[in-house]
Amino acid sequence: MNALRSILLRRETGIAVMIVLFVIAVGIAKPRFLSLEYLRIILLLTPLIMIGAMGQMLVLVARHVDLSIGSTQAFAAMVTAMMFKFHPEIPWYLGFLVSIGVGLGLGFVNGALTTLFRLPSIIVTLGTLNLYRGLTFIISDARQVDRQYIPSALKAMSTTSPILGIPWIIFMALGVALLTYWFASHTRVGRQVFALGSNPAAAPLRGIRVNAITLMVFSISGALAGLSGIMYASRWGFVNPSNTGAGFEFQVIAAVVIGGVSINGGVGSVLGVVLGVLLLGCVSAALPLLGIPGTAQSAIYGAVIIVALLIDRSVRQRGIAALAAQRARA
């Protein structure tokens, strides 16, 4: 009974219920939405956001935020695509190393600026959001890298499937989610990220190296944004200095806060974020089916972020109220 209650009260259950209700509602209006084919469409909308969201989750849990991931994605993707363009002899899979490495470097810069000068990460990454985008234009001479330069094997990651007709990149995203789950829940350093976000002032007293952890989460976020960069090239077959990664940060932050990650740090689960990404995917897939113009999308994201904030707040307040009641009883 109690176990059931605690499952029902979990944030993840709430999102799962929202997904089910949403799918049923759309399904009633458009039965086609319930087909396997639509499941595939929804899944194909998610891998990039999923990977970005895993990094962002860790950053938010550590009580920071990374607004630069869209530009990081673009820069890493551009470096990789240009490598393919000018050095077609390089094996395609090395692109992953390059893209992740470049992303890691940019993330490290974010972390270093934040820790070194004790600056709010939101302003730092607002700055690097522009800086990295500008650098993307500069290295590419403001030119798109076209389809013909992206190795076919890389593009095939998005089209060919090991099993069940589900493309490789979806498995990669799931793999990243599982790795993040392992990292966040089963490693000492992962738990230290949660401890740091939960009580930054007390963290050093427990031997947590605050600067090192902060650097690490930003580096991970950058590296995953880098990974999402080469996956962008795989999924869409081109890299554009202006379009690639534009608005990515808003999609990711929306998914992460829907997924129950608290902007006050310390709280968040991979399962919640995965569900948050799925819900966002469902919404994106349902809009064209329902004939809602794409112009509504941005307003929906904004509203979703605010609603998620309000839910987060009411959850927190219920906790405080319960505590007060407990003390009153004592």
Partner 1 sequence: MLKRHLLAGLAALGLAATFATGALAAHDFKVVYIGKNTGNPYFDSINGGFVDACKQIGCQYEFVAPATAEATSQIPIIEAQIQRGVNVIAIAPNSPDAMNQVLDEARAKGILVLAVNGDLVGNESHRDANILPVDFTKTGPNQVELMGSLIGYKGDIAILSATTEAPDQNTWIAAMKKTLAEDPKYKDMKLVATVYGDDQPEKSTTEMEALLSNYPDLVGVIAPTTVGVAAAAQVVQQRGIADKVHVTGLGLPSEMRDFIKDGTVKAFQLWSPYNEGWLAAYFADGVLNGTIKNEVGTKFDVPNLGSITIGDKNVMNTQAELTTFNADNIDQFNF
Partner 2 sequence: MTDQTSTPTAVSALDAAPPRPRWQVILIRPETMTFVLLVLAFIVSSSISPYFLDINYILSSFTLYAEFSIVALVLTMVIIAGEIDLSPAANMALSACLFAWTYQATQSMPLAILVGLGAGIAMGAFNAVLVIGMQLPSIIVTIGTLTLYRGLAQIIAGDQSIRLPDYFIGINNDLWLGVPVPVIIFVVVTIALAFFLGATIWGRQIYQIGTNEVAAQHAGIRARRIKFMLFLAMGFASAVAGMMTASRLGSVRYDLGLGGELQMVLMAMLGGTYIFGGRGTILGTFLAAWLLSVISTGMLTAQWLPATQLCVLGLLLIISIVATNLIYSRTQR
Partner 3 sequence: MAEAAADTPLIAARGISKSFAQIEVLRDVDLDLRRGEIHALLGENGAGKSTFAKILAGVHRPTRGTLKLNGEPVEIPNPIVAQRLGITLIHQEPISFPDLSVAENLVLGRTRGSPLGRVPWAQMTREARELMDLLGVRMDVTKPMRGLSIADQQMVEIARALASDSRLIIMDEPTAPLTPKEVDTLFAIARRLRDEGRTIVFISHRLEEVRALCDRVTVFRDGNKIATEEIGKLTDADIIRLMIGRPLREYMHKSRAEIGEVALKVENLTLPGTFRDVSFEVKKGEIVGLGGLVGAGRTDVARAIFGVAPATSGTVSINGRPVDIREPSQAIALGLAYVSEDRAVSGIFRTLSVEENITAAIPRKIAPGGIIRGALEKALASESVRKLRIRLASLRQPIGELSGGNQQKAILARWLLTDPSVLILDEPTRGIDIGVKAEFYEMIGELAAGGRAILLISSELPELLALCDRVLVMSEGRLTANIARADATQEAIMSAAVPRSTQAVAA
CB-based burial label for 99 (10 Å; 0-12, 13-18, 19+): buried
Cβ contact 37:187 at 8 Å: no
Residue choice 55, 107, 241, 245 for contact with partner 1 (CB under 8 A): 241
Cβ contact 88:149 at 8 Å: yes
Nearest in space to 140 (alpha carbons), one of 187, 89, 83: 83
Token pair 């500069």: residue: 138
Q: 122 touches which of partner 3, partner 2, partner 1, none (CB within 5 to 8 A by kind)?
A: partner 2
For residue 58, CA distances in Å to 141, 197, 199, 219 come to 34, 10, 15, 10
Q: 143 touches which of partner 3, partner 1, partner 2, none (CB within 5 to 8 A by kind)?
A: partner 1
Cβ contact 258:304 at 8 Å: yes
Residue choice 185, 187, 243, 314 for contact with partner 1 (CB under 8 A): 243
Is 159 an interacting residue with respect to partner 1 (CB under 8 A)?
yes
Is 119 an interacting residue with respect to partner 2 (CB under 8 A)?
yes
Q: Which stretch binds partner 1 (CB under 8 A): 36-44, 61-69, 107-115, 269-277?
A: 36-44
Residue choice 13, 144, 198, 297 for contact with partner 3 (CB under 8 A): 198
Task: In whole angstroms, give the CA distance from residue 11 to residue 271.
Answer: 10
Nearest in space to 154 (alpha carbons), one of 85, 237, 218: 237
Cβ contact 80:252 at 8 Å: no
Nearest in space to 264 (alpha carbons), one of 309, 214, 306: 309
φ, ψ dihedrals at 259, nearest 5°:
-70, 5
Q: How far is the CB of 242 from partner 2 (least distance, A)?
A: 10
Whichever of 217 and 227 has its CB closer to partner 1, that residue is 227
Residues that bind partner 3 (CB under 8 A): 185-192, 194-195, 197-199, 202-208, 262, 265-267, 319, 322-328, 330
Binding site for partner 1 (CB under 8 A): 32, 35, 37-38, 41, 45, 133-134, 137, 140, 142-144, 146-148, 158-159, 236-238, 240-243, 284-285, 287-289, 293-295, 297
Give contact residues for partner 2 (rule: CB under 8 A): 65, 113, 117-120, 122-124, 126-138, 142, 241, 250, 253, 257, 263-264, 293, 295-303, 305-306, 309-310, 313
